[in-house]
Amino acid sequence: MASTFDTVAGIIAETCDIERDTITPDSHAINDLGIDSLDFLDVAFAIDKAFGIKMPLEQWTQEVNEGKVSSDEYFVIKNLCSNIDKLVAAKSA
């Protein structure tokens, strides 16, 4: 079974036409990979479908915009994967 990172990296590579090898756990989706907001919605849609979750993008965006958390918390891939794992765990709890 593919790890969360493998699945997410595969989705990003396919959705955003980015070389799979350039995506690492420390990549920042926006700053390093250049994913814009529209592409990120595509990624979010694919992740939601793949994991059967609903990522709270509105809440995350609001927290970042209000300066409550760094964008790294949600947009660095390993952190994104960690948040996905939490949502999956919460769903099955």
* Binding interface with another protein (CB under 8 A): 38, 41-42, 44-45, 48-49, 54-59, 61
In the complex, minimum distance from the CB of residue 12 to another protein, in angstroms, rounded to a whole number: 17
Which residues is 28 bridged to in the sheet?
A: 76
Q: How far apart are CA 65 and CA 24, in angstroms?
A: 25
Q: Which is nearer to another protein, 25 or 71 (CB)?
A: 71
Q: Which is nearer to another protein, 25 or 61 (CB)?
A: 61
List phi, psi (to 5°) of 71: -60, -20
List phi, psi (to 5°) of 28: -95, 125
In the complex, minimum distance from the CB of residue 73 to another protein, in angstroms, rounded to a whole number: 16
Q: Which is nearer to another protein, 32 or 48 (CB)?
A: 48
In the complex, minimum distance from the CB of residue 26 to another protein, in angstroms, rounded to a whole number: 25
Q: How far apart are CA 25 and CA 5, in angstroms?
A: 7
Which residues is 76 bridged to in the sheet?
A: 28
